[in-house]
Amino acid sequence: MTSSHTVALRPAVKTEPIPPHIVEEIETFEAEAHRVLAGDLSTDIFKPFRLQYGIYGQRQPGVQMFRIKIPFGGLTANQVRRVAELADQFATGVGHVTTRQDIQLHFVELKHVPEMMRLLAAVGLTTREACANTVRNVTACHLAGVCQGEVFDVTPYAKTVAYHLLRNPLNQSLPRKFKIALSGCRQDCALTPIHDIGLLAAKRADGTIGFRMVAGGGLGSTPRMAQVLREFTPMEELLPSIEAVIKVFDTLGNRKNRNKARMKFVIEKLGFDEFKRRWEAAYAAMGYAVPTHEPITLLEYADAPPLIMPTKASVASGGNGNGNGNGNGHASAGGSFSGQETAFQAWKRTNVVPQRQAGFATAAIKLPMGDLTAAQMWVVADLAERYSNGNIRTTINQNMVIRWIPESRLEAFHDELVAHSLGDPGAELVEDIIACPGTDTCGLGITSSKGMARALAEVFPAGQVPEDLRDVSVKISGCHNSCAQHHIATIGLHGVGKRLGEHTAPHYELHLGGHVDGTPKIGQLAVKLPAKSVPAAVRHLVDVYRRDRTTGESLQSFIGRVGKHVLKDELIPYTFVPPYEQDPTYYYDWEGEAEFVLEDLGPGECAGGALEMIDDRMLEADQELYQAKLLVEKHQYALSVNKSYRAVLAAAKGLLVTEGLDPATDADTFQEFDQRLASKGIVPTSYANLGAQVGDLGSKDATAEEATEKMAFAKRFLAVCRAATEQMGKDLKLAQVKEEVLPTPTPSAAPAASVSTAPVYDLRGVACPMNYVKTKLKLEMMDNGERLEVWLDAGEPIRNVPMSLRNDGHKILEEGPLEPEATHFKILVEKVEE
């Protein structure tokens, strides 16, 4: 695709001086990137620092994904031109709009990243905190301010929240990523129920505006819908209400298990009432009155009419018509598809939304799976200035929209889009399939979600999808992490692998009936399909719907009425996979050039696994302390205090692994460290009551002296912990350590006579390697020759623990099932001292 705008005719990008603190921030990144490139700094140490700056590793070695953070999806034409320059000069010439309204550039070399950051900063954009365990991009409906059904424009509030939290000490080292979204109308275009904090526009009877706040939503491998935390949040209480939620999450979030670290798991563990009580306490501790929870009626007002969408008839007459909007508040196939439509009529029917401001419309530009070229970015920027006010918004469905286009100019606008391959109909509808990058670039991707999306395009051809599928959504994720939000799609797919003999075939798990509008619902997992059969299976699903539906019944309602079991029976024929010798194409992913494979790491050895856990914790401590030092040097004292605190916690958790513990919260870590290690003299008495000594995260007004003091304390503590672990081998024994004194090994106990009884140690439900560590600790309290009966789960525990104990020199006398079902096993081990 070649733009008619030559480089010579392109307007120059307008820039502003970069604020000094951002200049310093970028220089810090640049210095560390140079150290990595020179081989003076390990990539492991650099990784969390890199992520904090929004730079993500790719599946391909040696290149990065560069994620630009775009609060509420709002961009100026000038900013889009700068992104186009970066894509052309430093990346592949293509930008990717994400489901969080960011723009990503792929295949970027690390050496170019600092210069790209400077170029972005000069137009008011950043990559900061677009990745890592931070508050990610704050999203909002792209129709905010022009939607006919909105209570008020949420844009300024989304912007305020986003920039309040950006570079905030509270937001630097959360247990896991944290997501916030704002919606302005009852259709909830921003999908608030699937966010850690969702804010839905509300209005009191007296006209006061505010937000209905929900908390604890999220997708991934264990999807959860958010619950109501505050029925009405006044505007003056918005920021403290959000901060209080983040503080509770930061304190109680699970830092042991990344897969259990999101806020939804905090709520699940505490119960929502207790979570709300702790949130109220955190809110009050900030100096505010106890928040109210007054009930209100949400978004049901006579002055908020339903969206009015054009129908086929009204397109011809130029009127607004009375068609209906789809569940996302966007233009829909309001009026039956007709083969006699012109290209412009089809595009207007599906891509154009009349604004609440008479005479103006918003036009959606459909980007196939969120991708557009640098040349197309220049075109979009130019069109935004010539047909509108120079502003563009990205959407959570991976498109762009231009608002405030005079209705009289829509046809000319469409003609220019078509000239640059941007005029496809069907934006934000079923044919606009959502797909994450998958195996194209993502290191976590299992399947080619983009390849699957292109295959399904034949099932849902753009602009030709019948009226009965107008409210259907299709979303495809390349793994269970749900970056494409497959759990809330009418038809959702996520990639998995399935081993069949000596080969592995790419598969997709099919989820049906998910949605957020109305009463939110997670899609039901119906069946696992080989990738090659997915298009045929989806086509058959649509055929079954049309065959068995009741009059006027939508596919969403049909799925709910019929149920997944009936539909699974219909789809079973599509689940079969022939042997590789019969048809090897089933063992290739869509658009794949080589046979599909999954890395198989196999079972781990327990002692090695425990040591790896300790090493990981100590590495994390080193990483945090490293960042604390950098932040002090760059005068970012509050953030440095946060990092010193995290360094102490990580080191303490490293030592606690030797006690068979991996605490889930900060409070538990301090308590267990005092009881298990400090009280035994493993560390000097100066580190007793560790939690009180290290303090909290500090304030935004921390001084240089405070930051330096915290960092010095952390450095001393890490040295002690490192001395305790360096002498430790597979025995996992810690010697007492004195500061600046090398540890000496603890002598072994004298042998004792064996006994014939065997106490039972029930470790069912305890995963590797902690089951091994606990068994080892138990044996250490026994005499040579004593026996211990250990109960273990099937799978990795019964495979790994006996092998690891043998490696330690102990005797395994018996192994066998604990019950007839063989879901649990027992071993009889005899202690043998060297």
Mean pLDDT by groups of 10 residues along the chain of 834 residues: 52 95 95 94 90 90 94 97 98 96 97 98 97 95 95 95 94 93 92 95 92 93 90 93 95 83 91 95 86 52 29 29 35 47 92 96 94 97 96 96 97 97 91 87 86 91 84 91 89 90 91 85 88 95 95 94 87 88 94 79 52 76 84 88 91 90 88 88 86 74 87 89 74 70 35 51 86 84 85 86 85 82 84 78
247 and 325 assigned to the same domain = no
What is residue 271's predicted lDDT score, i.e. its pLDDT?
A: 94
Active-site residue, 768 included? yes
Q: Which CATH number covers residue 219?
A: 3.30.413.10
As given in the structure block, the two tokens for residue 134 are 């931070």
What is the chain's percent helix, strand, coil content, to nearest 5?
40, 15, 40
As given in the structure block, the two tokens for residue 275 are 């979570």
Identity of residue 255:
R
Quick one: 559 exposed, middle or buried, by C-beta within 10 A (0-12, 13-18, 19+)? buried
As given in the structure block, the two tokens for residue 116 are 């790209």
Helix (H, G, I), strand (E, B) or coil at 219: coil
Residues 6+ apart with CB under 8 A from 236: none
464 and 571 assigned to the same domain = yes
Residue 733 · residue 657 · CB < 8 Å: no
Helix (H, G, I), strand (E, B) or coil at 372: strand
- Residue 747's alpha-carbon distances to 733, 736, 744, in angstroms, are 11, 12, 9
Residues 6+ apart with CB under 8 A from 230: 211, 212, 213, 241, 291, 292, 293
Is 749 a domain residue?
Answer: no
Is 305 a domain residue?
Answer: no
Helix (H, G, I), strand (E, B) or coil at 268: helix
Is 751 a domain residue?
Answer: no
Quick one: 305 exposed, middle or buried, by C-beta within 10 A (0-12, 13-18, 19+)? exposed
As given in the structure block, the two tokens for residue 705 are 């002296």
Identity of residue 398:
Q
Residues 6+ apart with CB under 8 A from 760: 789, 790, 791
448 and 571 assigned to the same domain = yes
411 and 445 assigned to the same domain = no
Quick one: 668 exposed, middle or buried, by C-beta within 10 A (0-12, 13-18, 19+)? middle
Where do the DSSP E strands lie in 478-567?
491-500, 503-512, 524-530
Identity of residue 552:
G
As given in the structure block, the two tokens for residue 616 are 């990981």
As given in the structure block, the two tokens for residue 554 are 């939508």
What is residue 757's predicted lDDT score, i.e. its pLDDT?
A: 55
Integer Cα distance of 413 and 99 in angstroms: 26
Is 296 a domain residue?
Answer: no
Is 131 a domain residue?
Answer: no
Residues 6+ apart with CB under 8 A from 572: 527
As given in the structure block, the two tokens for residue 756 are 């014939």
Q: Which CATH number covers residue 632?
A: 1.20.120.330
274 and 316 assigned to the same domain = no
Asked which of 370, 385, 419 is the last residue of a domain, the reply is: 419
Integer Cα distance of 493 and 224 in angstroms: 17
Q: Which domain, by its residues, includes 821?
A: 760-830
Residue 492 φ then ψ, to 5°: -115, 145
Identity of residue 181:
A
Q: Which CATH number covers residue 387?
A: 3.30.70
As given in the structure block, the two tokens for residue 234 are 């006044």
Q: Contacts from 110-114 at CB under 8 Å and sequence distance 24+?
A: 110/33, 110/36, 110/37, 110/55, 110/64, 111/33, 111/37, 113/29, 113/33, 113/55, 113/64, 113/66, 114/26, 114/27, 114/29, 114/30, 114/33
Integer Cα distance of 805 and 828 in angstroms: 11
What is residue 609's predicted lDDT score, i.e. its pLDDT?
A: 63
Identity of residue 435:
A
How many distinct structural domains can be found in the chain? 6
Integer Cα distance of 825 and 587 in angstroms: 36
- Tokens 């200049």 — which residue? 23
| Pairing relationship of beta strands 524-530 and 491-500 according to DSSP bridges | unpaired
443 and 548 assigned to the same domain = yes
Residues 6+ apart with CB under 8 A from 413: 363, 383, 387, 402, 405
* The CA-based dihedral angle spanning residues 708, 713, 714, 719, taken in that order and rounded to the nearest 10 degrees: 130
Is 291 a domain residue?
Answer: no
613 and 658 assigned to the same domain = yes
471 and 573 assigned to the same domain = yes
Instruction: Determine how many CB atoms are found less than 10 A away from the CB of residue 729.
Output: 9
What is residue 489's predicted lDDT score, i.e. its pLDDT?
A: 92
- Tokens 């292109």 — which residue? 454
Integer Cα distance of 71 and 124 in angstroms: 11
* The CA-based dihedral angle spanning residues 412, 417, 418, 420, taken in that order and rounded to the nearest 10 degrees: 130
Is 642 a domain residue?
Answer: yes
Question: What does the radius of gyration of the chain's CA atoms come to, in whole angstroms?
Answer: 29
* Choice among 147, 479, 483, 768 that is catalytic: 768
Residue 94 φ then ψ, to 5°: -135, 140
Is 755 a domain residue?
Answer: no
Residue 446 · residue 403 · CB < 8 Å: no
402 and 489 assigned to the same domain = no
492 and 581 assigned to the same domain = yes
611 and 579 assigned to the same domain = no
617 and 574 assigned to the same domain = no
Residues 6+ apart with CB under 8 A from 734: 655, 658, 677, 682, 724, 725, 728
